[in-house]
Amino acid sequence: MQAKSYPVGAVLVDPAGSIAYSGRNRAADESAPPGRLVGTTLAHAELDVLGQLAPSEYDDWTLHTSLQPCLFCLSAIRLARVGHVVYAGADPVWDASARVPSILPAAISARWPRSTGPAAGFDGVWGSLLPAMWLVVYQPESVAEPSELMPWATVERARRCVAGGVLECGSMAEAYELASSLS
């Protein structure tokens, strides 16, 4: 979160289970590796990964992401021909995206990526908590009152984590451990 970009990351895993590509949200970044989207609201983590791919079939590959993909990213995942998406944290804003294949022509919906998530236990909580902490720090007015866009319990937990020093931790593992103890 030090880069001020939305805290979402993604990796593409090959059929053998090895990480082949990685990416993160770069919307607020000022620089990026060549060929990557940067400094635009379109610089989502999933697109950071997908933009590295050569045209091919990736039906047996899996994109892992820390937050449930938005409709924009799901469409890009489909166009990149990635077959499966696994996400850690649920995003209530985009939960209805799961119904999109039902309104598409059969030829397209048959190739829509399968989705698995949210993750069980604190991994799923952590995936949703990172963006909530970002909002608490960078857009506090957006989480000042209860909203259907983010569960209030998640906002309150994010506030406890920020106040408890989770963002000052030296490593992601340390932050995860501290956040789980504050929950």
Q: What is the mean pLDDT of residues 96-100?
A: 89
The string over 98-108, giving b where at least 16 C-beta atoms fall within 10 Å of a residue's C-beta and e elsewhere, is: eeebeeeeeee
- Looking at residue 33, the DSSP 8-state letter turns out to be S
Domain 1-119 has CATH 2.70.70.10: no
Show the tokens assigned to 82: 């990635």
pLDDT tens digits, residue range 53-88?
999 999 999 999 999 999 999 999 999 999 999 999
Q: Is 179 helix (H, G, I), strand (E, B) or coil?
A: helix
Distances in Å between the Cα of 159 and the Cα atoms of 25, 53, 93, 97, 155 are 22, 37, 20, 28, 6
pLDDT tens digits, residue range 154-172?
999 999 999 999 988 888 8
Domain ranges in the chain are 1-119, 121-183
Q: What is the DSSP string of 122-174?
A: HHHHHHHHHHHHHHHHH-GGGGSS-BTTB-HHHHHHHHHHHHTTGGG-SSHHH
Question: What percentage of residues in the chain have a pLDDT greater than 70?
Answer: 98
pLDDT greater at residue 96 or residue 40 = 40
pLDDT for the residue 183: 62
Confidence (pTM): 0.91
The Cα–Cα gap between 70 and 50 comes to 14
- For residue 1, name the pLDDT band (cuts at 50, 70, 90): low
- For residue 148, name the pLDDT band (cuts at 50, 70, 90): confident
